[in-house]
Structures are given as C-alpha cells and as structure tokens.
C-alpha cells in the first residue's frame, strides 16, 4: 500500500486564503501588516527563499520591505538597522534571512529583534514562552509541520515521535511543540549511536538534517508518518533527507520534497506577521 502524500502546497494555499481575508479585515482598520526582510550577501538559496516569501506576502496583502546588505556589512550596522525597524510602526515583522556571514554573531542579531516583531520565532523570549505553553510567535518550520500533521488528522498524543536533527530552528522547537501535544519525543543528532534503531521505533519520524537520502526504507517502521524537512540541491533538482520513492511504499503518510514542509513554513511566516500586526495594533489602542 502506498502512503498518503501530505500535500503542503495545497494546505498552505488554504491557509493563505484564510489569512488573506484576515489581512483584509485589518485593512478596514487602516492597518496594512508590514514585513521587513534583511538579506545579507547573495547566497543563491537565500535569494530564492526571500523571493518566495515576498511573493507569498504580496499575494495576501502583506507589504514587504526588502533590505539588502553586502556580505561585508558590519555587525554594528546590521544591529542599528534592526533597532530602527523595531521602532518603525509600518513594520510589524522582522526577518533576518539566515545564514549570515561568519563575522556576524547570529544570536546577537536575533536577540536585538523586538520579540513582538520576531516573526521567525527565534528570539529567546518566544522560545521560552513556547516551552511553557504561553502564546508566542512560534518558529515557522516546526509550527508549519504541526499544522500539516493536524490537517491530515495525524494522532500525536502518546505516539513516539523521533526527530533527526537538533538545530535551534527545526529539531529542538519541533520537540517542544510535539511534547506540548503529549507525544513521547526522542531527538537524534550526529552523536546518536545506531540511528536506525531509533528511527525504526518512530510512529512519527521527522527528519531535518540536510543530507540527501540519509533515511532509507529499512530505517522506517511500516505504517510510520514521515515528515522530510531536508532541502538538498543537486544541479537544478531538490532532494529531501528521506528516500521518498522507497519509503512511500511502507509509510502511512509522507511529505514530498519539494511541496511538503517548505510551503507550510512560508504560510506560518505570514500567519506570524498577521499575529504580530494584530498584537501591536491592540497594544497601541490601549496606550
């Protein structure tokens, strides 16, 4: 039996059409949500992501401001710009496209973003709020994966979710969100011994590593739900971290690459920008 394909493109389109109506409501209160995107250098993948984010924002009526810097920009200049954007009432969300050049300390940049404008959900205050289950701007990729799993009515409570990859932007926050849904969570990384033993235990397997076809069908329990976050570029093609063709015959649900997690990530960025705009407008009204 072949797995059900979790179509992130389709679900993201539904999310965007709902968000478009919400943005229109805000417009009637004379507010247009604004998203500032800071792009340093001209990393080809970053250029592609930024273009996709700008296009999606425009589709639903969010105004985006692209601010470009050369690879040589100083950390001080970048921080100064972030501080200006924190004060700018037209900007409700600030996104700093990663990676940044080596001479810039990423966490310092993230820490400088006003947590209310941190639409990537990477600021320690948002991460802490997520940990304790308070309302927060949630990291877009894990938040998008959770929405996709919910859309396909994947049962999470009590299930064993195994996450491969423990990055700050995907693996770790994914673990928190799944724990908040009462899943039993294991997190694997480069030092995990016998990865296959771990992945074969997963009812839900989420892979965010960045290594083409790291996960093969013999590493997947029959009937598992498989979410592939990886994006690996080879010439003009994109591959995931999972060997989709063989795994689709044994999994119950699987995400494709492309067309799975990527579009969900973008739609959650738009969701966060709208949420940030609403929060900031509400606060202004109570001052």
Closest alpha carbon to 8 in 170, 150, 203: 150
Q: What is the CA radius of gyration of the chain?
A: 19
Q: Which of 210, 238, 246, 259 binds ligand NAP (CB under 6 A)?
A: 210
Contact 105, 44 (CB under 8 A): no
- Cα dist from 56 to 119, 190, 260, 261, whole Å: 15, 34, 16, 15
Nearer of residues 41 and 210 to ligand NAP, judged by Cβ: 210
In the set 97, 116, 147, 280, the catalytic residue is 97
Residue 258 preceded by cis peptide, ω within 30? yes
120 is catalytic: yes
67 binds ligand NAP (CB under 6 A): no
Please check whether residue 81 is in contact with residue 109, taking contact to mean a CB–CB distance below 8 angstroms.
Answer: no
User: CB 258 → ligand NAP: shortest distance, Å?
Assistant: 8
Does residue 8 interact with ligand NAP by CB under 6 A? no
Task: Mark whether 53 is an active-site residue.
Answer: yes
Rounded CA separation 266/261 (Å) = 9
State the catalytic residue, choosing from 114, 118, 120, 243: 120
Asked if 141 is part of the footprint of ligand NAP (rule: CB under 6 A), the reply reads: yes
CB 89 within 8 A of CB 114: no
C-beta separation of 276 from 137 below 8 A: yes
Closest CA to 189 of 175, 178, 179, 203: 175
Q: Where are the alpha helices (DSSP H) in 29-139?
A: 44-60, 75-87, 106-112, 124-131
Q: Which member of 46, 129, 167, 279 binds ligand NAP (CB under 6 A)? A: 167
Contact pick of 56, 188, 204, 219 for ligand NAP (by CB under 6 A)? 188
Say how many residues touch ligand NAP, by CB under 6 A: 25
Window 22-61: contact mask with ligand NAP (x via CB under 6 A) = ----------------------------------------
* Min CB(95)–ligand NAP separation in Å: 13
Part in contact with ligand NAP (CB under 6 A); list of ranges 68-76, 82-90, 119-127, 162-170: 162-170
Binding of residue 169 to ligand NAP (CB under 6 A): yes
Active site residue ranges = 53, 97, 120
Interaction site with ligand NAP (CB under 6 A):
141, 164-167, 169-171, 188-190, 192, 195, 208-211, 214, 229-232, 261-262, 265
């Amino acid at each position: 039996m072949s797995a059900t394909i979790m179509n992130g493109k389709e679900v993201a389109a539904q999310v965007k059409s709902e968000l478009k109506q919400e943005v229109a409501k805000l417009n009637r209160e004379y507010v247009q949500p604004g998203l500032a995107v800071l792009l340093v250098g001209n990393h080809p993948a970053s250029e592609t992501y930024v273009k996709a984010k700008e296009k999606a924002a425009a589709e639903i009526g969010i105004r985006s401001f692209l601010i470009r810097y050369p690879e040589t920009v100083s950390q001080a200049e970048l921080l100064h710009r972030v501080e200006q954007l924190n004060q700018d009432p037209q900007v409700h969300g600030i996104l700093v496209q990663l990676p940044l050049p080596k001479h810039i300390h990423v966490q310092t940049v993230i820490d400088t973003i006003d947590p209310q404008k941190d639409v990537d959900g990477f600021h320690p205050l948002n991460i802490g709020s997520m940990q304790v289950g308070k309302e927060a701007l949630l990291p877009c990729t894990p938040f998008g994966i959770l929405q996709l799993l919910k859309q396909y009515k994947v049962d999470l409570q009590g299930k064993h979710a195994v996450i491969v990859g423990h990055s700050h932007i995907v693996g770790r926050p994914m673990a928190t969100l799944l724990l908040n849904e009462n899943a039993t969570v294991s997190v694997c990384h480069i030092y995990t011994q016998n990865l296959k033993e771990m992945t074969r235990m997963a009812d839900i397997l989420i892979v965010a590593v960045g290594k083409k076809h790291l996960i093969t069908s013999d590493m997947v329990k029959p009937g598992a739900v498989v979410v592939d976050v990886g994006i690996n570029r080879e010439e003009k093609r994109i591959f995931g971290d999972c060997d989709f063709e063989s795994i689709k015959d044994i999994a119950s649900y699987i995400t494709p690459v492309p067309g799975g997690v990527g579009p969900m990530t973008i739609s959650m960025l738009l969701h966060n920008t709208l949420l940030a705009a609403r929060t900031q407008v509400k606060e202004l009204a109570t001052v």
